[in-house]
């Protein structure tokens, strides 16, 4: 059994621009971290998301979109993990690469360059 700790949502908050584009974040809500600080203050500390799952849920509620596997599928295909500096997340990603080494460097680089 493999337990995802840290939360996989943490990767989304390393560069939330793709998430905001995908969920069509309304400009009138302003900057997402400022909005979270007002609407879900437990999720943000010192300008950083500290409760990634709850922050994602708050954003999805604000735009009226349910949490779905299709959202994660879309984000997973278009976001890179290389901007994520969270040590626990990077360790998890390294372990997954060790368990599933079949992907070529060229394919990995191509996927990593699909950042938006």
Structural domain boundaries in the chain: 9-112
- Local confidence band at 4 (pLDDT 50, 70, 90 cut-offs): low
pLDDT in tens, 45-93: 998 899 999 999 999 999 999 999 999 889 888 887 777 777 777 787 7
Q: Tell me which DSSP letter residue 81 carries.
A: S
Q: Find tokens 């949502």 and name the residue.
A: 9
Q: Answer yes or no: are the C-beta atoms of 14 and 85 closer than 8 Å.
A: yes
pLDDT > 90: what percent of the chain?
Answer: 44
pTM summary value: 0.73
Closest-CA residue to 49 (of 35, 61, 70)? 35
Residue 106 has what pLDDT?
43
Query: Mean of the per-residue pLDDT values for the chain?
Result: 82
């Amino acid at each position: 059994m493999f337990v995802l700790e840290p939360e996989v949502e943490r990767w989304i908050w390393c560069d939330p621009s793709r998430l905001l584009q995908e969920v069509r974040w309304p400009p009138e809500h302003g900057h997402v971290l400022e909005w979270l600080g007002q609407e879900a203050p437990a999720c943000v500390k010192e300008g950083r998301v500290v409760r990634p799952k709850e922050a994602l849920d708050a954003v999805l509620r604000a735009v009226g979109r349910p949490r779905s596997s299709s959202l994660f599928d879309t984000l997973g295909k278009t976001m890179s993990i290389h901007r994520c500096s969270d040590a626990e997340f990077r360790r998890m990603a390294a372990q997954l690469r060790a368990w599933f080494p079949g992907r070529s460097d060229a394919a990995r680089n191509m996927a990593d360059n699909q950042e938006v």
